[in-house]
Amino acid sequence: MLVLVAPGQGAQTPGFLTPWLDLPGAADKLAAWSDAIGLDLAHYGTQADADAIRDTAVAQPLLVAAGLLSAAALDAGSAFGAVAGHSVGEITAAGYAGVLSETDALKLVRTRGLAMAEAAAVTPTGMSAVLGGDRDTVVAHLEKLGLTPANINGAGQIVAAGTMEQLAALGEDKPEGAMKVVTLKVAGAFHTHHMAPAVATLEVAAKALSPADPSLSYVSNKDGQVVASGAEVVARLVGQVANPVRWDLCMETFAELKVTGIVELCPGGTLTGLAKRALKGVPSVALKTPDDLEKAAALIAEHAA
């Protein structure tokens, strides 16, 4: 079985969408999405600098648009047996699985990004990745510092979220066994209680949606379980912004599903990197530019059956 995965916030880099817009129909599709959500996605994906695309309200719709564009370019039909996304990538996954239309996915993520940016503006907060160390030891250390283990990613990576003061304390006092602490390019303590106001906003937005049941196995960040109901997928998307991402459990489910290949949508690299350490021997392809489509097609041809 093949699984398609979509990255989360922080994967974006200046100009990363430029080569994708040369593909047939891509620029027109992006323009239509831009009109639908009131955000110039082409500008932010091709011309804006790192600070501009770090803005949560910009980064999130940009990432979902990039994921859906690269999925369309992949043109894999029914080759994938499962789909999952990391954090905001779950909305990309919902769009790919047919739970939401592409336009509804972009509208929802635009609302999500604005709401989370507003929540993040209340208190200066951020996130840092802790690399290495025993999971339970790291989690206990973070909680001692008042931080939340917001992303438990597996493969020796846990992302801490909290106030800037708490993160500074973490930088000076790493958990026992941890190799290093890396500050992430995000503008808030996502997946923590700091995002509670955004949940209320998304609850309202979700009422306007008419979700369909996913067309393939949808693996949820909440607990790594496969969710078969479109309404349940949307409910989890709403609650997800203030609760931890359990990507480690998603990868455990991939193993249980006997996944034999992984393709990561644009801007790929983060999730395939984790998979190489946690799912050793499972081949993967990260879509960074359209040049990677040929490698992905070869992997699909080999493993889709």
Q: Is the dihedral of CA 17, 234, 119, 166 positive or negative?
A: negative
The answer to whether the beta carbons of residues 127 and 159 sit under 8 Å apart is yes
Cα dihedral 133/136/137/140 (nearest 10): 140
Half-sphere exposure of residue 271: CA atoms within 13 angstroms, side-chain side: 35
Q: Is the dihedral of CA 75, 81, 84, 90 positive or negative?
A: positive
> Sheet harboring 226-227: ordered strands across?
226-227, 217-219, 82-85, 2-6, 261-264, 284-286
Distance CA 220, CA 86 (A): 9
Q: Is 128 a catalytic residue?
A: no
The answer to whether the beta carbons of residues 146 and 202 sit under 8 Å apart is no
Annotated catalytic residue: which of 86, 141, 191, 194?
Answer: 191
Annotated catalytic residue: which of 34, 87, 128, 220?
Answer: 87
Q: Is 191 a catalytic residue?
A: yes
Distance CA 206, CA 202 (A): 6
DSSP reduced 3-state for 52: helix
| Active-site amino acid positions | 87, 191
